[in-house]
Amino acid sequence: MATLYIDRKILSMQSQRGILILKHEHGDSQRLPLRMIDHIVIHGRIDTDTGALGALADAGITVTLLSGRQGRRQATLINGMGKDAGRRLSQYRAALDPQRKTRIAACILKHKLANQHRMISRALTKRPDQRRPITKARRTLHELSARLQTPGAGLEQLRGLEGAAAAAYYDAYRRLFPASLGFQTRRRRPPPDPVNAALSLGYTLLHSDAVKIVHGAGLDPYTGYLHEPAHGRESLAADIIEPMRPKLDALIWWIFRKRVLTAEHFTIRDGACLLGKAGRGKYYAAYETLAAGTRRWMRRFVHGLIAHLQQDSGADAP
């Protein structure tokens, strides 16, 4: 099963007898069996109808809509939620229990800090000239990981540790890129430079994958543990991508280090750095080399979370 990226002018998207038909502006068309597709990401405008959308839903295919040249997620179309309401009731009970909520949040952060430490440690082999800031960040991440085990630590303390880890991590991470890219710190809205633009698009794709996985497992993506519920935010999806962010960071560094993308693939408009169409094609291909592993990890974590939620309140987090 594959993810299909549609990022070109398509006249129409239709479905007939288990076949997805894409008609292009120049008159040519593609015919793709629905059974071979798991996820469709559409960037831009496309004409379709309820019949095609219904066929995608019946086939269990998730559709993610990205809008604008920054590729922000506009919507995710999924055919309903899992039918086991008991899973969601267990999820809500844990979210209302401060101790269980904190244990789950600490588990998420443990994985995230470990992957941050692993990412910059591997970077040291390619950038020995940055030994001092990388070593400093590694030491800080190690110390903060140990503090995650502090008895009685609450969510606010955990979030404070996460913030301190992010500051140390990004101070080392930014030094991996040439100064010509202008990457100084993580900024999202709008991304001011190519690295931030690439990170934002990757995190958007990760989040869409997480929403799909959470829905498929029958959990409520809006009820999280590390991230508090907020209007319009899929907090559980935001939770489970946190440990995968360093994996995406490593991919972005590789993309620029190997010159898969260069500054020429980006333009600046109204203070926002935008990835052009030619660059997006290269980006999606690179992302898919990572995505098999990140999706597998997120599925395992969600299954472990479900097992934890259905056990007694004293059980260890996944």
Single residue among 25, 56, 77 that ends a domain in this structure:
77
According to DSSP, residue 177 is labeled S
Domain coverage including residue 16: 2-77
- pLDDT exceeds 80 at position 318: no
According to DSSP, residue 117 is labeled H
- pLDDT exceeds 80 at position 308: yes
Give the side-chain half-sphere CA count within 13 A for 273. Answer: 22
Q: Does residue 236 form part of some domain?
A: yes
Question: Which CATH number characterizes residue 273's domain?
Answer: 1.20.120.920
Q: Dump pLDDT digits (tens) for 111-161.
A: 999 999 999 999 999 999 999 999 999 999 999 999 887 777 788 999 999
Looking at every residue in the chain, the average pLDDT score rounds to 88
Q: Does residue 248 form part of some domain?
A: yes
Question: Which CATH number characterizes residue 18's domain?
Answer: 3.100.10.20
As a whole number, mean pLDDT of residues 200-228 equals 93
Q: Does residue 316 form part of some domain?
A: no
Question: Residue 148 phi/psi, 5° resolution?
Answer: -60, -25
Buried b (16+ CB within 10 A) or exposed e, 133-161: bbeebbebbeebbeebeeeebeeeebeeb
As a whole number, mean pLDDT of residues 58-82 equals 75
Q: Does residue 315 form part of some domain?
A: no
Q: Does residue 314 form part of some domain?
A: no
As a whole number, mean pLDDT of residues 296-311 equals 94
> 61 with 154, same domain?
no
Neighbour count for residue 239 (Cβ, 10 Å): 25
Q: What is the pLDDT of residue 40?
A: 87
